[in-house]
Structure 1
Amino acid sequence: MGVRARPSGTFYAEIRAGGARLTLGTFATVEQAVHPYDVAACLVTAEQRRYRQQIQRRLAIAHADERAMEAWAAAFPRDILDERAFYEQKKADRRAEKEAIRAGKPFIEVREVGPTTIDGNNDC
């Protein structure tokens, strides 16, 4: 990562961000190579800063939601019990539906009758 001198006397610039390597090019002088690197570094750090801020906002919202749910549970415990009962009933209904579907499927029974022969008159 950065600017490197090549054996030919040119300078190579690249930057890595998020596991990806971005080649900025080969330049005749070190000054020419440093400028694109500096610009790319500013963009990468700005993007990383924006991403961290976005994550922090999402975490703050999640924590606020958790506190609100805790306050609701403390103020209205009956609602929590009703909600749990509702989802337990829904789960039991789904389980019963699946069992009904399984019970309604016909089973193909194969019985071994003994040796059979297939002749030309058989449609099978």
Structure 2
Amino acid sequence: MSSRRYPPLGSTGFGGIRTRSSGTFAAKMSAVGMRMWLDVSRTMDEVAHAYDTAVWKFGRGHLDLNFPEIECRSKADMLASPSLIMTRADQRRHRWEHQWLAIAEADKWAMEQRRTRFPEDVQAEFNFSRARREERREKIMRKVMSERLKIVCI
């Protein structure tokens, strides 16, 4: 059995971690046919702990750990920032949710502007909606009452 470490230690002294030109650190690993990109951080230790959490998550060997003294996944999870462990699907979902929230905030702002600029239009729409609800209720009640009359008459 080989005692060779995978991934090999890089210039950072930790396995799977790279120094980016911006001075931040990033890590990546492949497991179960999926490539994991561990988010960028300013400190090497945060990325190394996130890498160890991913190692535990995918059941890889202790040779892959940057901190072999951590004996279980729960301890690795406590030391790693949860935002640092992201798959491509997580990144897409996060980006979509962020865009969706930005659109919702823009809509909310636009509606507030409309309410302040055109209060009579907003009130007219509210009254129209209320009248439509009442009409629907009355229609349902007429239908229910006619069904009851049919049952009584038969």
TM range, smaller chain? 0.5 to 0.7
Normalising by structure 2, what TM-score?
0.44
Deviation larger for 85-94 or 38-47: 38-47
Normalising by structure 1, what TM-score?
0.54
CA 1:37–1:103: 2 relative to 1, 3 Å: closer
CA RMSD of aligned residues (A): 3.3
- Give the match for residue 125 of structure 2: 83
Gaps of 5+ in 2: 7-28, 39-85
Q: Residue 83 of structure 1: SS of its match in structure 2?
A: helix
Work out the CA distance in 2 between the residues paired with 1:41 and 1:65. Answer: 35
- Give the match for residue 96 of structure 2: 54
Structure 1 residue 30 displacement after superposition: 7.5
Work out the CA distance in 2 between the residues paired with 1:69 and 1:40. Answer: 42
Work out the CA distance in 2 between the residues paired with 1:62 and 1:84. Answer: 21
- Identical-pair percentage: 24
Structure 1 position 107 matched with structure 2 position 151: yes
Report the structure number with the largest CA radius of gyration: 1
- Give the match for residue 41 of structure 1: 36
Gaps of 5+ in 1: 1-8, 10-28, 111-124
- Give the match for residue 61 of structure 2: none
| Amino acid in the other structure paired with 2:146 | G
Work out the CA distance in 1 between the residues paired with 2:31 and 2:5. Answer: 11
